[in-house]
Structure 1
Amino acid sequence: MLVPYPSERRVADHPGLVLIVEDEPEIAEILQAYLARDGLRTAHAADGAAALALHQSLRPDLVLLDVQLPKVDGWQVMAGIRHASDTPVIMLTARDQDVDKLTGLRIGADDYVVKPFNPAEVVARVQAVMRRSRGQRSERRVLRVPPFEIDEARHEALVVADGKRHVLELTLTEFRLLEQLLRAPGRVYSRTELLASCLPEGDALERTVDSHISKLRRKLDDVGVGDTISSVRGVGYRFVTAP
């Protein structure tokens, strides 16, 4: 479950997203409440398989990861996250032996919290790890797929045309859709995929994707690149590369 996010807030204003991987609902709810009170969004996965799927689709800023999980345990989830990304991870577990702590840190965890814990302390650690992570990633990450440049750190989308850079005034959803399509030029993304990865906060209808794509296209038309997003009848959308 994802805590609701105010629709269509500008990209630059979006708060951090924490993925809570915890199979005990009461603990998950407490963590969600404390993190929300501190201004953070949260998503929740109750098992390891769901955690890996949500990590891939939501690209959270940090993961709070329990070790003892159904389906896929926390060690395997940790390994899967590290194989795919450098997302900060804080391990949450009832195991307090040094060997478990060392195992978590050795396979890539950024911090380790033993249950039972003070939720306020967990929030403080989350903020500390996120600040440290931002400092380590101070260099800008830019996705360049002509004529677009997507600055992931600044959440800024630009079109480069005739030697000029045009900043696109996009909502968060429009930014996510454009970024997703640009990550695999030519690949057809189904509406279901785009819904899961770009509109996970409660929009449940596939036609909602069509509405956002239509608005995005109009903004791209304004700078002369509206034909770069192609509809695939009965399937979804793809980014059209220049010939």
Structure 2
Amino acid sequence: MAERSARTAGLHAPHPLQNSLNRRGLLITGAGLLTTGLLTTQAQATGTARHATGQTLHAPAIVGKARPALPLVMLDPGHGGKDPGAIGYTGTYEKHVAEAAATELRQQLLATGRYRVAMTRTSDHFVPLDGRVELAQEHGASLFISMHADALHNAGVRGASVYTHSHGASDSQTADLAKTENSADRYGGPLVQGTSPEVQQILASLVTEEARRGSAHMASAVVASFQSRINLLTHPHRHAAFAVLKSAQIPSV
């Protein structure tokens, strides 16, 4: 979860919203995606297989060079619809800032020609937390980025931070933030159908560990790209039980 913290009094976002975005910060986020080795494409190869009768089956010939699919980045503008998120003292809604930021980042990533990009929402409507995760999983996303512009009770706290999922919170401030974000709705994780609970647990633990390593790697890359360029919170890589980052299969920040 990539976010910019703001004073509880409000989020400063001049009109129009697109012009209120820190374009440099979004470009830096894109640079973080470009420099990390997390998003790699898988090369497709032809091969042979042996039929039960012993006859060798050859893969169909491919005319020209096969082009592997580009990795898919799923951008998730936080909140939306009936859930405005944080509300600024001038009436600015976090949901609008998040959508504008995600739209700008989408354009920056597509311009590189190295990624496919999808969004969990492209208009002002409500998407349940589990629905956001399911969209990423159904589309086979390689990375999930949830974008927010939260407000904190401590008016002196300002700066960017990157969050990953964990069962325990890195600090009380992050724990409170996770509680607020998770209050949008209840999260229910996907199950592996047709297997025993024991096998489900083993498979989930293996996949979750790989996704956790990918999330940590991505968070470190984004923080590194932010440093010396925009304000960061102290210890900007933080973690807590954010429901929207709970995918067991996809690295999520």
TM-score by length of 1: 0.29
Higher relative contact order (CA 8 A, sep 6+): 2
TM-score by length of 2: 0.28
Which structure is larger by alpha-carbon Rg, 1 or 2? 2
The structure carrying a bigger helix percent of its residues is 1
